[in-house]
Structures are given as C-alpha cells and as structure tokens.
Amino acid sequence: MLEAYILATILCGFLGIIFKKNLIMKIISMDVMSTGVIAYYVLVASRGGLLAPILGETNSRAYADPVPQAVILTAIVIGLSIQALMLVAVMKLAKDHPTLESDEIEKTNTP
C-alpha cells in the first residue's frame, strides 16, 4: 500500500511538470517527483531490515543496508542544489519578462 502512495506521488509530480504552465509550479512538481523517487528508493533499500548495523552486536538480525542511505543523502543534496539553480534562473526570467507562464515567455522569444 505504501508503494502505491509513493508511486502516486511520483505520478503527481510528473503530471505537474507536464501540465503546469507556471515555472514555479514546474519546479515544485519536480521537487515532489524527486521526493517520491527518494522515498521509493528508501522503501526498497529498507526491505532487509530496519535496524542500524552497529559493530559489536552479535545478534543475527535483519539490518538495513547503509550504502543506499548514503546515496540518498547525496541525492537530496544534489536535488536541493538543482532546485536552487532553477529558482535563480526563474528569478532572472522574472526580471526580463512580466510573467512566469512558459507559453507567454516562448511567444516573446520566438523569432
């Protein structure tokens, strides 16, 4: 059931990127989709177990793999930096054009 919610989040973000015309809404939709992808990756990586692998314990319990956690932390940082870069680009467009609607910007920039 949790997988269905995560996949619905990814789908909502994807559809927002396609159908929204406002550039800020496209950035927010991309962030929603990225959050869904990260949540799905964490869900798949935690199937082995939920406990932290700490040295010194001799119990053979199911532990979570720490490598996907490090990859996810890196993906979060990269996603944040990409989002900041896109927001700066939108700020530049906002100075040059009175609107942030992608259709209007394309009309003014086509030769």
H/E run at residue 13: helix 2-19
For domain 2-52+60-109, the CATH architecture is Orthogonal Bundle (1.10)
Average pLDDT over residues 57-76: 78
**Could you give the CA distance from residue 62 to residue 12 in angstroms, rounded to a whole number?**
33
Could you give the angle at which helices 2-19 and 23-45 cross, rounded to 10 degrees? 160
Residue 17: per-residue pLDDT: 95
Confidence of residue 58 (pLDDT cuts 50, 70, 90): low
CA quadruple 15, 18, 24, 29: dihedral sign: positive
pTM, whole model, 2 decimals?
A: 0.81
**Could you give the CA distance from residue 28 to residue 26 in angstroms, rounded to a whole number?**
5
pLDDT (tens digit per residue) in 21-39 = 999 999 999 999 999 999 9
